[in-house]
Amino acid sequence: MSRSYYIAGNWKMHKTRAEAAELATALVKELRDGKHKYLVAPTFTALETVGAIVKRTNILLGAQNCAAEEQGAHTGEVSVLQLKDLGVQAVILGHSERRHTYKEDDALINKKVKLALKHGFEVILCVGELLEEREAGKAEAVCETQTVKGLEGVTAEELSKITIAYEPVWAIGTGKTATPEDADAIHAYIRKVVGKLYGADAAEKIIIQYGGSVKADNAALLMAKENIDGALVGGAALKPDTFVPIAKFG
């Protein structure tokens, strides 16, 4: 069975609305004839601006996070209801920066996953190990725990709305990239974990992206691997001339 490729750009805490509009406009033009699935995830303040530009195009609008509650006294948080109101279609959850810089644990991430699914969003669930965990031989165990706990309570039907993104934390923004072989081995392992939870057919269907210093010159090599189904792109997503070659590989 052939899975389709899914290339997502996580813009992180970059771009004013004017800058975001300029980037989104360029991507709509450049990716119009692209043959893969695409998503951009601007910062919250630029969602409405970018949403208007990508509406009715082949680029999905994503958010970089959401609150674990629908509404209430949660100063500084953004709810799924507010994201839905802006036309957001997908939410990135469990990104390594949320896990490690902002101390979000598996239970909180799982709560967000279930809430986002309940409101009809697609979810990109990020998993990945730290350098010391990899060096201690724990990469597979860490990814298994994050996958199992992240998907707790998610039904087989809901799983079709989930993409997993494997991001070795040591390769994010460092210029280091897991070799295509290293990345594919972990992707294959995550696929096996999904198989244990949901069966072989679900494991075969699930899209697993790679994230961690993806660039135009390594994208095709990574995507050529059997278990790598796309990319969650950070730094290279911030300029058309670095994102478009990744998005249109192959």
- Would you please indicate which residues are annotated as catalytic (active-site) residues? 95, 167
Rounded Cα gap, residues 56 and 155, in angstroms: 29
Tell me the C-alpha distance between 94 and 64, whole Å.
9
Closest by CA to 193, choosing from 222, 167, 172, 164, is 164
Q: How far apart are CA 210 and CA 223, in angstroms?
A: 9
Rg over CA atoms, the chain = 17
Query: For residue 73, what are the contacts with CB-CB under 8 A and spacing of at least 6?
Result: none
List CB contacts of 75: < 8 A, sequence separation 6 or more.
Answer: none
Cα 60 from chain centre: 12
Tell me the pairing of strands 230-233 and 59-63. unpaired
**Which residue is listed with tokens 């969650």?**
232
